[in-house]
Chains A and B, each alone.
Chain A
């Protein structure tokens, strides 16, 4: 059982995600935009943050930046859940401190597995994995630029 905050402006996705995660035995809170999520975390940090990127008030990237500067990110594991799929978004999320990335639409099982995986991994394991993901992204973009130049 973990404490999870869901930051998502779409009411249907909020309901879906919270319903899936409470049924798994987790304690769930929701925020309807980035600013609200940040306020809630500064007050009482969860174990896991499920973060949408495109939100009003403050987008997910800004939330990640604020978390970084506030220092509360350290105890928290962050899963980005977003419709954005281009690679630069994915890289940006990791660079700003996210630990995992899931794109909408998603399967309930994918979400459950991603959360279990975050909870079952140490911060160090997650950092190693993030580095590997970033290396892979760099390699891919280098390959792309080689193909593009031909």
Chain B
């Protein structure tokens, strides 16, 4: 069991994630905007934060910056879950301290698996894994371009 915080302004996503994660045995808390999430991260840091990027009051990137300032990023792991799928957003989120990144629409199982992995691995291990994945993706795209020629 872990303490999981869901920050999303979409009530349907909040309800779905609450159901999925509570059924897995986790303790769930939600925030409806970035401001609420940032406050909760300081007052009551969870083990995992599932963070939407586009939210009113304060966006997900700003929440990450705030968490860095208050040094709660060491204890809380962050899964960004967003409709924003651009490389720029992804890089920015990782640079700001996110540990994993999923884009909407998502399968409930993907979220469960991502949360389990984040709970099992350390921040450092997650980073190594991410870099390996990026290298693999890079290699694959190079191979593809060679084959296309």
Residues of A within 8 A of B (CB): 1, 3, 14-15, 18-19, 22-23, 25-30, 40, 44
Contacts and interface: CB of A to CB of B under 8 A. Distances in A.
A113 B44 CA distance: 25
A44 B3 CA distance: 12
Contacts of A1: 29, 44
Given A22-B14, A23-B14, A28 B28 contact: yes
Given A3-B27, A22-B29, A29 B14 contact: no
Which DSSP category, helix, strand, loop or mixed, fits chain A's interface? Answer: mixed
B26 A18 contact: no
Contacts, number: 47
How big is chain B's contact interface, by range?
A: 10 to 19
17 contacts: A1-B29, A3-B27, A14-B22, A15-B15, A15-B18, A18-B19, A19-B18, A22-B6, A23-B11, A25-B30, A27-B3, A28-B18, A28-B22, A28-B29, A29-B26, A30-B22, A44-B1
Nearest to B6: A22
Given A23-B14, A27-B3, A29-B1, A18 B27 contact: no
A64 B118 CA distance: 36
Contact of B15 (A14, A19, A30): A19
A54 to B, nearest CB: 20
Interface string B12-27: 0011001100110111
The 8 closest A-B pairs by CB, nearest first: A30-B22, A27-B29, A22-B30, A19-B15, A29-B27, A15-B19, A22-B18, A28-B28
Given A19-B18, A25-B30, A27-B3, 4 more contacts: A19-B15, A26-B29, A29-B25, A30-B22
A10 B83 CA distance: 32
A30 B1 CA distance: 11
Interface in B23-44: 23, 25-30, 44
Interface in B73-122: none
Contacts of B26: 29
Nearest to A44: B1
A25 B36 CA distance: 10
B46 to A, nearest CB: 9
Contacts of A19: 14-15, 18-19
A49 B27 CA distance: 14
Contacts of A22: 6, 14, 18, 28-30
A69 to B, nearest CB: 24
